[in-house]
Structure 1
Amino acid sequence: MDRVDKLRDIWENIPTAVSEQLDLSQKEIINRYMDVFHFGEYFYVIFNTRTAEMEYVNPNVEKILGYAPEEFQLQMVLDSIHPDDLPYYYHYEQSAVRFFSGLAPDLFFKYKFAYDYRLQIKDKSYKRMQQQVVPLFYFPEGGVRTLGIFTDLTHLNIQGIPKLSFIGMQGAPSYYNVHLHDSFHFSSPLFTKRELEILHYIVQGLKSQDIADELNRSLLTVKTHRKNIFRKSGCNSVQELLVKSIREGWV
């Protein structure tokens, strides 16, 4: 069985019974999902699991990976994943199908999942990429159309095995750092709502005074939240907090 067929077998179990469809134009997709802070340069694709084809590849892929948009196809991606990371890739795709199959239909569009891995680029070196996947449309006959966001994390020097998280949107609970567990356990929020808001600004590089001005809060209040964030996360620097926030799915 080749690498694409192995994924097709996994995707055969994608749930089909949904109460609504999220069929958006490309402009609506960008407005809804792309207007967020990114930790590095990124590009995005629209992918159809039913046909196993990229329906759209953002031109920025050439700047980041060296491949022309028409070259960035599933077979090429699978052939370019680091051999040590490929088993995790398959396992996490299988975990995603299991996760969404266990959701109530009204939650299908309230989750995205994310994991990172090493991908060989055009010049044969490797980059560490984070792949976020958002379901957009479930086909009645099976399969799903997804938005895939690929972010270059190489500059963060992330080490170790890939990590997987299911991130709740619109108030849904999240399941962080799922890794290779056979069951999914809800991750109790580590940070308060205000701390998460401030965490987003910290990882963007804003200073405490800038955050205070942005949120119309006192500098002392922001510094207190900042201190609690570092204590709860176990981090000693902004760089360490940034890396951990990405891998744990906090931001």
Structure 2
Amino acid sequence: MKIRIYEEARKVWNILADRADPPDLAMELEIHRKVLNFFQVGDCYYFIFNAVKGEFDYMHPGVQEVLGYNAQECTIPVMMGFIHPEDLGWFLEFEQATVNFFSALPIEKVLRYKARYDLRLRKANGEYVRMLQQATCIQHDENGAVLRTLCVHTDITHLKPTGQPVLSFVGLEGEPSFLNVDIKKGFTPSREVITRREKEVLRLVLAGIPSREIATQLNISKLTVDKHRKNMLKKTGIKTAAELVVKALREGWV
């Protein structure tokens, strides 16, 4: 079963990166910069996905702490075997939609988006957990075709124990977002609930950084940070910062 699903996924990925082999990648600093842009609200690990070969170039050893598997055994077909049977269809639909989305982007915008969706994965002890996958391009060719992506898996079971998997494309550097995408209707920019600066504050809040340190990082006053936080609560009708974190995660605001 997992081999068949893998072959179907390879067909999708081959559309995205139709070439023999990607060039070598030398971007350790770029990887670390991108990792920092992913908020982490639970146990997580990351990996580099080679879209041309349909395999991992690197799997972070943190996968053992989160799922209980050794990084060396985590190949693409093996990881697909961990997907909950009810979520396999969603996985293939989301991957196809992601290929369609990135293939339609102008080359200058390929690096300005991340795709995010949630799926249930089986841990080594047999328990299923809900993982949030966030992926962004870290290498593309001269035509904009995605060659490698950086993906982060975060355990969000405590924030979304049940519910249907959801796909979003989150705009970075001021680009519009496409949230809770209806795959059958295509991609329609979502109305931005919060401003770009509020997103920057929220991203740091989600990373567990206190307001005073957020002020230092963004070169603004703590009073301004507090104002942004109050504005976000008022706009969204949410009463507490904890509820804001859950809402931001579920709606894909950052």
More deviation, 95-104/178-187: 178-187
1:197 and 1:112 map into 2 onto residues whose CA distance is 15
Give CA-to-partner distance per residue, 1:137-163, whole Å, 9 cap, x none: 346897722211111212324431111
Partner of 1:108: 110
Alignment: residue pair count? 247
Given the alignment, which residue of 152, 162, 171 partners 2:165? 162
* Alpha-carbon contact 1:48-1:145 (below 8 Å) kept: yes
* Alpha-carbon contact 1:45-1:57 (below 8 Å) kept: yes
In the TM superposition, structure 1's runs of 4+ consecutive aligned residues that sit over 4 Å from their partners are 21-24, 139-143, 204-216, 221-224
- Stretches of structure 2 that go unaligned for 5 or more consecutive residues are none
Partner of 1:117: 119
Partner of 1:225: 228
Normalised to the residue count of structure 1, the TM-score between the two structures is: 0.84
Go from structure 1 to structure 2 and tell me whether the alpha carbon gap of 1:106 and 1:212 turns closer, same or farther (over 3 Å shift).
closer
Is structure 2 residue 79 aligned with structure 1 residue 77? yes
- Stretches of structure 1 that go unaligned for 5 or more consecutive residues are none
Is structure 2 residue 160 aligned with structure 1 residue 192? no
TM-fit CA distance, 1:118 = 0.8
TM-fit CA distance, 1:197 = 3.3
Is structure 2 residue 65 aligned with structure 1 residue 63? yes
1:140 and 1:132 map into 2 onto residues whose CA distance is 24
* Alpha-carbon contact 2:194-2:232 (below 8 Å) kept: yes
Map 1:1-251 to 2 at 5 A: 2-14=4-16, 24-36=25-37, 37-138=39-140, 144-205=147-208, 216-217=220-221, 219=223, 222-251=225-254
User: Kindly, what percent of the aligned residue pairs are identical?
Assistant: 37
1:56 and 1:201 map into 2 onto residues whose CA distance is 26
Normalised to the residue count of structure 2, the TM-score between the two structures is: 0.83
SS in 1 for 2:81: helix
Give CA-to-partner distance per residue, 1:17-52, whole Å, 9 cap, x none: 9xxx99752522333211244112221111112222
Go from structure 1 to structure 2 and tell me whether the alpha carbon gap of 1:170 and 1:227 turns closer, same or farther (over 3 Å shift).
closer
Q: In angstroms, what is the RMSD of aligned CA positions?
A: 2.9
Give CA-to-partner distance per residue, 1:43-69, whole Å, 9 cap, x none: 111111222211111111111111101
| Amino acid paired to 1:32 | R
